[in-house]
Structure 1
């Protein structure tokens, strides 16, 4: 609900903010005003030398001025007249304000001194523009320009600041709201929508060509929007399901690796312990006596031996 109210406020703001100006000094002039907007119609250059004049709409008098004083104004609640520059302003325009307006001037004796007529047309202004694009398989790009509101909208296209040419179009033309761009056409595309009381535009970068190779060797070729590389994203792999057999096998491998590490460390510790003991006790073989003078002989005498 808030979003809808916000959109209504925006649209009303756009309409109320539209002001148009019209030169109605020439007979047969055509003027345009925006619905719920304001229009300034210049009726004459100066009113100082015109004793009396009145303005009628569809033969019904709406404004009467005598000696630069407004005698009456049937729409005074939303209009103003400025004698200094001969401009008649109408605010909060509606469809009923459209029609033929006739200005008639008089001499001081009351005789007519001239008459001129203008036409006032009312249009709803274009409030917003939306570009919808689609990248086709062979590199073409289909683009639709969608406008919100606006009477008698007129479309035009530009690419990188210049008018889009027929040589760049596979379908449509520069004045249609649906076009198809040819292959290899790139840049910033702008769609403008206008009528006699408004002018709105929207821009967008067009497709680019993707050429990449995935991890598994698959080659990807295709066209995607310029801010996307979705074709080159590696797809998510499904996780391997866990089964009781795989869980048991995993624990067996972990235990085996742990046993190998423990045995290796134990062997290293035993070797270093044996090495240390050998160094402290010295060699097990007695040293050889070099000098016989230092030798001691021990003879055991048996009592049963012959004397």
Structure 2
């Protein structure tokens, strides 16, 4: 959907070509038609309520005449039609000669003074027929891509990845609207080039290179640290499915061993601290008992004296 001077131009394809719609009820509307296709122009709300009107091409050629809810004349009636109920003019089999300025003059009464004028500009473009997307995977996994189109006037290019516009952080060169870009090696997904103009849009998609960064020591002792294509994803040794349960059990046993060791050390330390505390208590009692004996002996000697 494209907005031009506040108007909506809707593009879609039909079996006999490209059909476009333009609302020309606002003065200065910009409208587009596809070469060989059809354009539907909304000129007024309801022509049946208008006293008289004429539609003029490039200020000199009267294309359509209306009066009192009747079509008086249509210069291109063999390939066009006008609807009085909704005020739309349909032109088929568009050619380059159909492009130009159209002026609608509406006479609201018979006086000739109550007049309304508005213009629209109709541009005829050749639609984009196909898109060619050429890509190359570089040595480090970067992707060089080039997009071109067949046919189509004023083509515009747009790159997306997974439905989102490519950002500069994902690119080594170019931008999301360039014909030629280079994508970084760590970018993966479906790369799409869209080519559009005002009457058509065509897309082409391509998968990125999908390189993977591998870092490991091979069985022959060679150390690798680089980007590799998908075919080399198994280059680094991986634990076999049979070894995974053993590895898991080994890790569990190691954790249990560490926990039990910690518990043993904890209680051993507590026991040692307890023994030290008991030794200190015995020593104090012994000294107290010795002191008591000495005191008793001294009392006995004194009594004898």
Q: TM-score, normalised by structure 2?
A: 0.65
Q: Which runs of 5+ in 1 are unaligned?
A: 1-12, 233-307
Q: Measured at CA, do residues 34 and 217 of structure 1 come closer, stay the same or move farther in structure 2, by a change above 3 Å?
A: farther
Q: Measured at CA, do residues 126 and 230 of structure 1 come closer, stay the same or move farther in structure 2, by a change above 3 Å?
A: farther
1:51 partnered with 2:51: yes
Which 4+ stretches in 1 moved above 2 angstroms? 13-17, 208-211, 216-224, 229-232
Q: Measured at CA, do residues 230 and 121 of structure 1 come closer, stay the same or move farther in structure 2, by a change above 3 Å?
A: farther
Do the aligned residues in 1 keep the contact of 2:23 with 2:42 (CA within 8 Å)? yes
1:27 partnered with 2:27: yes
Worse overlay, 182-191 or 90-99:
182-191
Shift of 1:218: 11
* 2:176 alignment counterpart: 174
Shift of 1:219: 11
Do the aligned residues in 1 keep the contact of 2:158 with 2:178 (CA within 8 Å)? yes
* 1:18 alignment counterpart: 18
* 2:89 alignment counterpart: 88
Q: Which residues in structure 2 correspond to 1:291-306 (within 5 Å)?
A: none
Q: Measured at CA, do residues 65 and 230 of structure 1 come closer, stay the same or move farther in structure 2, by a change above 3 Å?
A: farther
Q: What does the per-residue CA deviation read over 1:181-213, in whole Å, with 9 as the maximum and x for residues that have no partner?
A: 1121111111111111111111111102377xx
Distance 1:15 1:179 in 2: 34
- How many corresponding residue pairs? 216
Q: What does the per-residue CA deviation read over 1:191-247, in whole Å, with 9 as the maximum and x for residues that have no partner?
A: 111111111111111102377xxxx999997655x6xx4999xxxxxxxxxxxxxxx
Q: Which residues in structure 2 correspond to 1:1-307 (within 5 Å)?
A: 16-59=16-59, 60-112=61-113, 113-209=115-211, 224=229, 229=231
Query: Looking at CA atoms only, which structure, 1 or 2, has the larger radius of gyration?
Result: 1
The SS at the match of 2:124 is: strand
Q: Measured at CA, do residues 92 and 217 of structure 1 come closer, stay the same or move farther in structure 2, by a change above 3 Å?
A: farther
Distance 1:223 1:81 in 2: 63
Q: Measured at CA, do residues 190 and 73 of structure 1 come closer, stay the same or move farther in structure 2, by a change above 3 Å?
A: same
Do the aligned residues in 2 keep the contact of 1:125 with 1:151 (CA within 8 Å)? yes
Do the aligned residues in 1 keep the contact of 2:24 with 2:120 (CA within 8 Å)? yes
Q: TM-score, normalised by structure 1?
A: 0.64
